[in-house]
Every structure is written in structure tokens, then in C-alpha cells.
Amino acid sequence: MPANRLARESSPYLLQHAHNPVDWYPWGEEAINKARQENKPILLSIGYSACHWCHVMERESFENEEIAALMNELFVNIKVDREERPDLDEIYMNAVQMLTGRGGWPLTVFLTPDGKPFYGGTYFPPEDRYGAPGFPKLLKAVAQAYRERPEDVKRNVGQILNALGQLSDLKESQRPFSRDIIAQSARQLAEAYDSEHGGLGRAPKFPNAGVMDLFLRQYRASKEERFLQMVVHTLTRMAEGGMYDHLGGGFHRYSVDEKWLVPHFEKMLYDNAQLTRSYAQAFCLTQKPLFRRVVEETVTYVLREMFHPEGGFYSTQDADSEGEEGKFFLWSEAEVMAIAGEEAGEIFCRIYDVNEPGNFEGHNILHPILTLEQAAKYFHKDPADLERILTGAKRKLFQEREKRVKPFRDEKILAGWNGLMLSGLADAMKIISEPDCFDAAKKTVDFIFSRMVQDGILLHAYKDGQAKPKGYLDDYAFLAAGLLDLYEATLERLLLGRAMALVETMVREFWDDSDGAFFYTGRSHEQLISRSKPAFDSSIPSGNAVATQVLLRLHHYTGKEDYLKRAERVLRLYYDAMERQPFGFTHMLAALDFYLEKPKEIVLVGAEADPRLKGLANKIHSLYLPNKTLQLLVPGEPLGPNAALLEGKAQIGGKPTVYVCHNFTCSPPVTEWDELKELLEG
């Protein structure tokens, strides 16, 4: 099949469609001008490379000659990678959710020639199925409506645009801020907790890292044990389920069932970044070895499979390989026995629920159903011997799996998702001694600032030597947060300066001067039909929530009042909505928690090369302190941006010395850990 216009693109997802018989256009003036000139509606299809149902719709419809001919005759067809153009995805996903009450990918939206939506949905089958009309029938009906019922189309457009406008039409709350809203939100979310399997609600089950963070914060504030137990139970069940890759490390996207057994097999960078943080923070509170192991294995997976050699992390790994969902990850009993050997194979199969009938469509998803202690009793073996046998079997199976055809990897490097990963690595470094973490983080920061910043503007995506388009709110907010997290983990002052520079540009480009908060697109972006101001968390945190956290942290680093005032405006704008819909605002609630409690401002005074200072820093990192700032003051060096806080703080007796300030009061200097720990946990 000859290539269409997508062959000129760099996005792996668009290139996957470059040989469809559909006359695809990328988003741009060429397609929009054609639609205007021919007065044809636009068929906009949005997806991403790791999306299973996107591949299904491609096979069923976009590779079908007859359906493609119908699309080419009736529409101007535009294909968009949602990861490359999240601004388009945000607008048109909102539109479809308003029309249908649901969303997802593939996203199928019908637009007027000037880009205004009038109808849409998600996956459509090639013939009537699942209660949905067949795609050819739908194409004819939509095209006919556009030609013959223009008033209906105009009315639909008006209603959708009006509703899109109302999404950002919020007024600042006049009520005083209260910690009660955080406790109330945590309790409300706890009502949806699945006490049997962990997580929230029934199937499908998503990781919900933001909810876990809120529960940990509420446990710390209230000492109500149930909030910690909900997190421990959920993280344990996820790590013991099929959603976790027990051979290669890392998490799949979500669980199709309520037991965390059957995953949707794609692996996303943003999930593994956020879950690395969740498990690291839970380890600080519990010292549970499983949580530390999951952090180690997840970081190992990300560095092995998702890391660009020069720095930067790739976006996704597909669910499918060789045309079958999950094929790379599934096993038969015979395979395991042949590879591991009779004794080790029998032990592995018993522990990891591998049997001849299979636990998933005739195959087996690996997941432990016995603890090491239970298996030791069952096989009458010493636990240490059993662990050695099991480790050997896992190594052999992993090596054999590496010979299989791997799922497709989308090698776009996205600035925002890399920011999330930097935060994950920073938390991992606090609990595991892994120099590769530091090296990867440093390389990634250098890569982004050398390849993905142009004339002071952060760019969104990098692929094949090309970076584009201009960065979105998430890119600035997530990357700034990642730099601050790395700064606290490494105490390298350059990272703080880079975070501050990013935030200055973020405020200039995205801040809404009239109503407060941040738009998703900047002043210099392409003007679209709507300029959204996203506040809801999705599979990633809301850009406004993370931007607010960053502003608050920088206020305490620099003393700059402007940061505080902007953060307060965002919190006031969404305060009432947080109370009504806490599930969508867990990260904004975390920002509110930081604001109301005020952070412990920790100043370490000493020489960077002093191992005693490093030892103190490591002990600080071992504590769960979600609301803190941490910086290093080297005697004799310039004070840096936070001169007011650092002024007058000196070493005592030549020892590494720590000052803890909170709520406008600083402690006397301390040099011993026991005394410091009491200050930090008090």
C-alpha cells in the first residue's frame, strides 16, 4: 500500500498509520483548508501507539479498503497522536464526554471545517456490534446530517462550545481554608475502598497514586491506622497481582478485573514514575521489604527498557506483540518446566499459579499465590534455599523471554512525563543505593535542557533529533517539580535555579491574569476553539495542581510573595470543587495540605564532601515528610536565592549542622540525629 501524508511525521503512532488506505492528514492548515474549500466535515481520530483498541479499529476499519474509500469520499481525515498533541486531545475528549457521557481511545470526533465538534464517540466496530452502530453506517449518517441538517449541526456545535467554556468558568471561593476538607475528602474516598482486594471500586482497577498519597497524608495528620492500612493493602495486592511484571519489573496500565490479576498489558512511563514514588513513600513508613524490592525492580525496568542512551525516558510499551495482546508476558506450564528444570519449574509453577488449563485464556499470567514461608512448608525446604531456587528460575525465564518479539516501544521523549520520572527517581534514590538512578536523572536533565529548550521555551516532545511543539502546562509544572525533587535528593543547587527559570516562563505563558490559575496552552501556542484550564487529575496529576505545589515550594525556597499569592488564587478557585469531587482533586488537596501545614524548612550546613553530612541527609530522606523543603548551605559560599532563611546559620564545632524552621520559627542548631528526628517528626 503506498504511503499517505503521515509518512512524513516523526510520531510512531502516526507512522503506524502511514500505509492505511485512508487518506490521512496530520493536524494542520493543509487539512483544514481542504475541508473549507470542499465544505467537507472533518473526521478526527485520536489515539496513541500503546492503545490496544486503537490497533483493533485500525485492523477492522482503517485497513479495510471499502471503509477507507467511504472515509475518503465523505470526510477530510485527520489522525492525531494524543501524546504529541495533548491540547487537541483535551478539547475533543471533553466534547465527546459531554455528548456521550464517556470517553477513551480511540477517540472519534466529527468536526465542521473550522474545527468545531458536532458528533463523536470512541471505538466503533466495522458492523453493528456491542450495541454500537457499524462504522460505515455511522459515516454515512454523519455525512448526511452535515449536508442535509445544517441547523442541527450548528445547534450541536453551539451547545458543545458553550459547555466547553463553562469548564473553566469558576469563581474563587470566599470561604476560609480549612484542614477539615482534607480529612473529609480522605474519608469520602475511603468509602469506595475495596477491603477484600484493595484499591477503589470494582473492575477495572486503576493505580490511583493520588488517592494513595492523600491517604498517607491523612494517616500522618490523624494517626488513623486505617488510612495507612488501605495503602499497604492496595500496594501489596498490586505488587502480587498480574498487573506487576514479576520477571522484568514495572507495572502494566491497569487491571481489567477487581483482583489485580488480568492487566491491560501496555506499560506507561507515567504509571511507573508515580508508582515508584508511592512504593518508596510507603516503604519510609513501613520498612516493608516488598515495597523496596518493587522500587528497585521498577527502576531497573525503566532504565533497561525505557531509557534513551543520551538521557530521557521513552513514553510507552505496547500491549500487543505479534498481533496478540499480552503475548510477550504469558506462559504455559510446559514452557516453564522446560526452561527452569523439573525441581525449580515445579516450585515456580506452584508459587506463581502456572498450570496446564491456564489462568487467562488458556495461558498463564504470573502472580504469586503463596508466600515464601508457605511454599517452604509445602515443599519442606528452607526458605533461603527456596528463594535461591526461585531467583534462578526467574532469571532463566526472563532470559528466555528476552528472545521473544518485544511489544512495540514508542520512543517519543515527553518533557512532562520525564518530569514525573525524575520525581520517581528522586524518591527511589532516598531508599535504594543505586548510582544508576543519579546518572540517569542527571543525563535526563542535561538532555532536556540541551535538546528540548529553544530560546528559553520548553518543547513538548523529542523524537529522531526533532523537538516539537511548544510545551504545555504539564510539561513546565511536572518538570519543575521533578527538578525540585531532585534538588532535595542531591542538593545540587543548579537544579533549583533551573526550576525557578521554568516557573518564571510558566507564569508568563500560562497564567490567567483575569480569573487566576493556569491555562493548558501558552500565549504563544496555536489558537484552538477552546483554551482549557484543566484541574481534574486523570491518569496523571492535573497541571494546575502540580503548578500550585511548585509555586508553594518555591515560595518557601525564595521568600518570593508572588509565588504564594498565585498559589492561593488557584486554591481559592478550586476550593469548592475539591470539596464536591475529591477524587478528581487529590493532587490539589495535597497542595492545600502543604499550604495549610506549611513545610518543615530544613537547612543542612556543612561541606558537600563530608560523609557525615551525607549520612544526615540520608537519615532525613528515610522519613516520610511530604511537606518539607531541604537545602544545603556550604560555609563561605554565596547564600543563593533564599538568603533570608539561610542568613546567620553556621556550623557548630565543625560538625554538619541542621536547622529546622517551621511557621516563621527556627530551631536551635542540632548536630545529632536523635534530636533532629524529634524536630522533624514533631
* Contact (Cβ atoms closer than 8 angstroms) between residue 656 and residue 616: yes
Residue 306, pLDDT score: 98
What residues does 79 pair with on adjacent strands?
A: 45
Alpha helix stretches (DSSP H) within 581-653 = 586-597, 611-621, 643-646
* Contact (Cβ atoms closer than 8 angstroms) between residue 285 and residue 420: no
d(C-alpha 353, C-alpha 309), whole Å: 37
What pTM value is reported for the model? 0.95
d(C-alpha 570, C-alpha 635), whole Å: 38
In which band, very low, low, confident or very high, does the pLDDT at 163 lie, cut at 50, 70 and 90? Answer: confident
Q: Could you tell me which CATH class the domain 180-322+409-597 is placed in?
A: mainly alpha
- The stretch 147-172 carries a mean pLDDT of 89
d(C-alpha 36, C-alpha 218), whole Å: 55
Q: Is the pLDDT of residue 457 over 70?
A: yes
Preceding omega of 86 cis (within 30 degrees of 0): no
* Contact (Cβ atoms closer than 8 angstroms) between residue 441 and residue 348: no
Q: What share of the chain is helix, strand, coil (3-state, %, to 5)?
A: 50, 15, 35
* Contact (Cβ atoms closer than 8 angstroms) between residue 613 and residue 604: yes
Q: What is the CATH number of domain 600-681?
A: 3.40.30.10
* Contact (Cβ atoms closer than 8 angstroms) between residue 482 and residue 419: yes
Cβ neighbours around 295 below 10 Å, total: 29
Strand 600-605 with 628-633, pairing? parallel
d(C-alpha 340, C-alpha 393), whole Å: 5
| 222-254 pLDDT per residue, tens | 999 999 999 999 999 999 999 999 999 999 999
In which band, very low, low, confident or very high, does the pLDDT at 642 lie, cut at 50, 70 and 90? Answer: low
Pairwise pLDDT comparison (181 vs 171), residue with the higher score: 181
d(C-alpha 413, C-alpha 655), whole Å: 43
Integer CA distances (angstroms), 659 to 485, 486, 548, 664, 682, in order: 20, 21, 26, 13, 14
> 246 in helix, strand or coil?
coil
> 49 in helix, strand or coil?
coil
| 558-601 pLDDT per residue, tens | 999 999 999 999 999 999 999 999 999 999 999 999 999 999 99
- The stretch 109-138 carries a mean pLDDT of 92
5-167 and 600-681 share one fold: yes
| 76-105 pLDDT per residue, tens | 999 999 999 999 999 999 999 988 888 899
Residue 1, pLDDT score: 72
| 396-418 pLDDT per residue, tens | 999 999 999 999 999 999 999 99
Handedness of CA 153, 155, 160, 161 (dihedral sign): positive
DSSP letter for each residue of 145-173 = HHHH-HHHHHHHHHHHHHHHHHHT-----
What is the radius of gyration, based on Cα positions, of the chain?
26
In which band, very low, low, confident or very high, does the pLDDT at 637 lie, cut at 50, 70 and 90? Answer: confident
d(C-alpha 260, C-alpha 648), whole Å: 54
Integer CA distances (angstroms), 202 to 35, 205, 225, 612, in order: 44, 6, 23, 49
Q: Retrieve residue 582's grid coordinates.
A: 475529591
Cβ neighbours around 485 below 10 Å, total: 25
d(C-alpha 343, C-alpha 325), whole Å: 31
* Contact (Cβ atoms closer than 8 angstroms) between residue 243 and residue 263: yes
Domain boundaries, the chain: 5-167, 180-322+409-597, 327-401, 600-681
Strand 466-470 with 457-463, pairing? antiparallel
Residue 622, pLDDT score: 96
Using CA atoms of 333, 339, 341, 342 in order, give the dihedral in degrees to the nearest 10.
Answer: 10
d(C-alpha 380, C-alpha 377), whole Å: 5
Q: Is the pLDDT of residue 64 over 70?
A: yes
Residues whose CB falls within 8 Å of the CB of residue 453, separated by 6 or more in sequence, listed in order: 459
Residue 624, pLDDT score: 97
Q: Retrieve residue 412's grid coordinates.
A: 517519543
Residue 13, pLDDT score: 95
Residue 114, pLDDT score: 93
d(C-alpha 133, C-alpha 108), whole Å: 13
The CATH superfamily label for domain 5-167 reads Glutaredoxin (3.40.30.10)
453 backbone φψ class: left, alpha, beta (φ>0; ψ -120 to 50): beta
Q: What percent of the chain has pLDDT over 70?
A: 100
| 520-570 pLDDT per residue, tens | 999 999 999 999 898 899 999 999 999 999 999 999 999 999 999 999 999
Strand 457-463 with 107-111, pairing? unpaired
* Tally of helices (H runs) and strands (E runs) in the chain: 26, 19
